[in-house]
Amino acid sequence: MKSIARRNHKYWKYLFWLGPILFVAGLTAGLVSNNWEPVPLGLIIAGVVVTGLWLIFSANQNRWWSRRSTQAGTNALIATLSVLALLGLINFLAVRYPVRRDFTEAQLFTLAPQSQQLVRNLSQPVNVWIFDRNQDQQDRELLENYRRQNPQFSFEYVDPQVQRGLAEKFGVKQFGEVYLEAGQQRRLVQVVNNEQRLSEVRLTNSIQQVISDRTAKVYFLQGHGELPVTAEQGGLSQALTALGERNYTTEPLNLIQQSKIPQDATMIVVASPKQALFPPEVKALTDYLNSGGSLLLMIDPNTNPGLDSLLKSWGVALDNRIVIDPAGASIGFGPAVPVVDTYGEHPITQDFNNGISFYSEARSIELSEVAGVQATPLLITNPQTWAESNLQGEQLQFNPETDVQGPLTIGAALSRQVNNQESQEARLVVFGDSNFAVDGLFEQQLNGDVFLNSVGWLSKQDEETLSIRPREPRNRRINLAAQQANVLGLTALLLIPLIGFASAVFLWWRRR
């Protein structure tokens, strides 16, 4: 009988090793396959059961449970497991019901109340696309703050070189472009880089504009040989499609058939008229501007739209000479295609940096000061360009007597208050070219952005923005004079250690 017991004890000894082996095998299989059912979970359960059976057998053989050390160890084990279970429960509740507190004085890591309210009320999915290789921690934290307010808000980082189809869908032109998408609408929020991170002000206002049910209406003047608004050669169909994607509605406008600008007009576009407008039409446009309207003029050279009186009141004069740019010829465009990579500081061009746009057969624009008019050059050519007066010569050469040396302005944005009312502003954008917006060229480089951003500024979308004050860390530094800094340093490095040492010597002496 004793030999049989010894033999059984030997077998149970080997059985102990089977338990941990099964447990480790199940754990490894689950981690590698990322699937815990059914095999990995079965192995883990089998390992735990075998180990438990071995412990029960060993306890019966050695009377292990009756020992005081075993009882003390068991109590310690139960206490440890209880603490671990409590910590696990606390961790589960923290993940399931997260609570964040921002203890910074200026609430740097908390969304503004306007942003929180807007995102919480989202009734449709809104997604932010960041086309960049790297994920900035500061930008990601801001986007996480938005997502915590409402699961309808989401964001995704995309490498435009890896997912080229998606980048082409949004028309991405450079790394760092941030787009907002809601339904069929897409909007460029801003371009992020090392110097400029994602802005809560811009993102919140872009969300408000995208989900707004307000539809801006853009009228295109017709009847004078303007560019057609249909899909044909030299037309504006691509531009109109892009406007539709941004919640604009477009309609043709004939001021001969109706003498006044429609009441629902957000802005008027006059795109390359070949014949002069009639005086009543010019008056209608002038009255519209004087009442706080917005007007986009794209005037090609060798045309006279009859708008001199309107432009003069704004301090704008059209030069009929064609801008020549040797850089255009060097890249295959031709000398009559000025290439622009310098832009004025304005909301229309704020994210262009040194991007390229080009203009086929453009005329320059001269700006003069007019009281109350704020004028900003938008498109500025390089110093090697000039305005050519003689295109019939065999060679295009700059003539200082008849030509004008660059840099030249071929686009400008102007605004002024109406009747001294700060709440009402008239806006005017003038380009000395229209070809940059026609089908085929609209989607090249920044050409489409120039047009769309001009329409966005003229439609006064910036006036609908929420007033959100940027969060800035407050300066809590203590400015010390040199003498104060020396005293503080001596106190920390010499006086306080000496006091501690003296106290220790005194205590030692008293107890001696």
Cα–Cα distance measured from residue 45 to residue 39, given in angstroms and rounded to the nearest whole number: 10
Residue 217 falls in which region: left (phi positive, over 0), alpha (psi -120 to 50) or beta: beta
The DSSP symbol for 278 reads: P
161 with 77, same domain?
A: no
Clarify whether residues 168 and 58 are in a common domain: no
With CA atoms as reference, report the closest residue to 449 among 375, 350, 382.
350
Report the CATH number at residue 133: 3.40.30.10
DSSP run (H or E) holding 8:
helix 2-33
pLDDT at site 2: 47
Q: What is the DSSP letter of 390?
A: -
- Whole-number pLDDT of residue 315: 95
Domain termination site, one of 131, 166, 200:
200
Range scoring the smallest mean pLDDT among 88-97, 241-250, 274-283: 88-97
- Bridge partners, 342 (sequence order): 380
**Separation between Cα atoms, residue 250 and residue 168, nearest integer Å:** 25
Question: If you compute the radius of gyration of the chain from its CA atoms, what whole number of angstroms results?
Answer: 37
Q: In the block, which residue shows the tokens 């919140």?
A: 204
Residue 118 and residue 153 in contact, taking contact as beta carbons nearer than 8 Å: no
* Domain co-membership, 348 together with 389: yes
pLDDT at 7 (0 to 100): 55
Token digits of residue 463: 């006036």
User: What are the pLDDT digits (tens) for 202-260?
Assistant: 888 788 877 776 678 999 999 999 998 876 667 898 899 888 877 788 999 999 888 88
Longest dimension (CA), the chain: 126
For residues 264 and 328, give the distance between their C-alpha atoms in angstroms, rounded to a whole number.
Answer: 41
User: Cβ(393)–Cβ(356) under 8 Å?
Assistant: no
Q: Is residue 104 part of a domain?
A: no
Tell me what pLDDT residue 50 has.
77
- Which tokens go with 313? 């009141």
Q: Which residues have a Cβ under 8 Å from the Cβ of 336 and sit 6 or more positions away?
A: 322, 323, 324, 325, 328, 360, 361
Q: Is the peptide bond before 20 cis (omega within 30 degrees of 0)?
A: no
Residues 81 and 172 in one domain: no
Percentage of the chain surpassing pLDDT 90?
Answer: 32
Is 155 within a domain?
yes
Average pLDDT, the chain: 82
Do 290 and 381 belong together in one domain? yes
Same structural domain for residues 249 and 274? yes
Domain containing 122 equals: 113-200
User: Among residues 42, 67, 96, which one ends one of the domains?
Assistant: 96
Q: What CA–CA distances, in Å, run from 120 to 148, 156, 198?
A: 9, 19, 20
Can you tell me whether residue 241 is helix, strand or coil? helix
In tens, the pLDDT along 279-309 reads 999 999 999 999 999 999 999 999 999 999 9
Q: Quick one: CA torsion of 114, 115, 120, 122, rounded to 10 degrees? A: 110
In a domain? residue 7: no
**Of 223, 240, 289, residue with least CA distance to 458:** 289
- Of 411, 441, 459, the last residue of a domain is 459
More confident residue, 114 or 266: 266
This prediction's pTM = 0.61
Q: Is residue 477 in some structural domain?
A: no
Place of tokens 């050409």: 447
Asked if residue 496 is part of any domain, the answer here is no
In a domain, 101, yes or no: no
42/170 same-domain check:
no
Closest C-alpha to 358, from 377, 380, 340 = 340
pLDDT tens, residue by residue, 380-412: 999 999 998 877 766 778 888 888 998 999 999
CATH number at residue 308: 3.40.50
**Are 179 and 189 spatial neighbours (Cβ–Cβ below 8 Å)?**
yes
The strands making up 185-191's β-sheet, listed across from edge to edge, are 153-158, 126-131, 177-182, 185-191
Please list, in sequence order, all residues whose beta carbon lies within 8 angstroms of the beta carbon of residue 22, skipping any fewer than 6 positions away: 43, 44, 46, 47, 50
The count of domains in the chain is 3
Cα separation, 8 vs 2, whole angstroms: 10
Structure tokens at 509: 């002496």
Please check whether residues 117 and 145 belong to one and the same domain: yes
Q: Looking at the structure, tell me whether residues 155 and 259 fall in a common domain.
A: no
Q: Is the pLDDT of residue 352 over 80?
A: yes
Domain identity same for 359 and 259: yes
Please give, one letter per residue, the 3-state secondary structure of 397-429: CCCCCCCEECCCEEEEEEEEEECCEEEEEEEEE
Asked if residue 468 belongs to a domain, the reply is: no
Q: Is 85 exposed, middle or buried (0-12, 13-18, 19+ CB in 10 A)?
A: exposed
Q: Do the domain assignments include residue 191?
A: yes
- Please tell me the distance from the alpha carbon of residue 360 to that of residue 17, in angstroms, as a whole number: 83
Residues in CB range of 145: below 8 A, 6 or more apart: 109, 110, 111
When pLDDT is averaged across residues 85-105 and rounded to a whole number, the result is 71
Which two structure tokens, joined as six digits, stand for 44?
């883990």
Q: What percent of the chain has pLDDT over 70?
A: 83
Output the pLDDT for position 222.
92
pLDDT in tens, 48-83: 787 777 666 666 665 555 666 666 666 776 777 677
User: Do 401 and 344 belong together in one domain?
Assistant: yes
Q: Is 15's pLDDT higher than 70?
A: no
Residue type, 192: V
Whether 91 and 119 share a structural domain = no
Confidence band, pLDDT 50/70/90 cuts, at residue 93? confident
